[in-house]
Amino acid sequence: MNLGGLTARVLEARDARPELNLVLCHGYGAGGEDLVPLGAELLASRPALASRVRCVFPAAPLSLEAFGMWGSRAWWHLDVARLLERRDLERLMEETPEGLPAARRMLDGLLAELATGTGLPLSRTVLGGFSQGAMLATDVALRAETGPAGLCILSGAVVCRPEWQTHAPRRAGLPVFQSHGRFDDILPFEGGERLRHLLEGAGLAVDSHSFDGPHTIPADSVDALARFLEQRLP
């Protein structure tokens, strides 16, 4: 379906009566349905989630097929070589990526249309994502007029740090689930820790799960995320 100009896959049980929306944004270079299996696993893991949660998976607006990455999409274009060189990590944390404001507006539009269509406001929506999608979700959650029910950061990192530091105190008390691998070779674990410290320093309640693994979402993190979602139900 189309929500706010973005193509989105919606996953919910046939007899469900959703009381909570879960919106998950995929990472750079993934397809629009990349996180759908994660949603199916979450719903199957807890009866309460299957009957009371609706999962929404928006596809990023930019195609990467011109770069030979067929079926791959992005929320904004990345200088992958610069990212992997690691030399500019501090500078990358300070910068606002070109294309992030446009992606933010599109995700804001999706959330507004989803709220109207489902009758569940942002305060009854857990917003999150993986990698680049986690950065976008964090940016939107920190800037929104009213906060979401929770924020889910899977292998995320800090961008536009000065702005996030300004906005984050408005979200004091917001429940945050964070998962990051200690051996992440794409977005280093150190970057995830910087993000955790930024959010905790502003008063957000971060439930952090680190694991001995790379840039991925392990089974233990999925189980912990399911518990986090159960706690967000009315």
> Which of 77, 74, 149, 140 is closest to 110 using CA atoms?
140
- The full length of the chain comes to 234
Compute and round to an integer the Cα radius of gyration of the chain: 16
The pTM is what?
Answer: 0.94
What's the pLDDT score for residue 200? 98
What's the pLDDT score for residue 39? 97
What's the pLDDT score for residue 195? 97
Residue 138 φ then ψ, to 5°: -65, -45
Query: How far lies 10's CA from each of 21, 78, 157, 217, in Å?
Result: 10, 27, 26, 21
Output helix, strand, coil percentages for the chain, rounded to the nearest 5: 45, 20, 35
Domain that holds residue 82: 2-232
Domain count, the chain: 1
Q: Are 48 and 20 in contact (CB under 8 A)?
A: no
b (16+ CB within 10 A) / e for 139-153 = bbbbbbeebbbbbbb
What's the pLDDT score for residue 86? 57
> Which of 144, 121, 141 is closest to 133 using CA atoms?
141
What's the pLDDT score for residue 168? 98
| DSSP E strand stretches across the chain | 2-3, 6-11, 20-25, 53-58, 62-63, 73-74, 125-130, 150-154, 175-181, 205-211
pLDDT 10s digits, 21-76: 999 999 999 999 999 999 999 999 999 999 999 999 999 999 999 878 888 999 99
Locate tokens 């933010």: which residue? Answer: 104
What's the pLDDT score for residue 80? 62
Q: What is the CATH number of the domain that holds 224?
A: 3.40.50.1820
What's the pLDDT score for residue 15? 86
Residue spans of the chain under pLDDT 70? 80-90
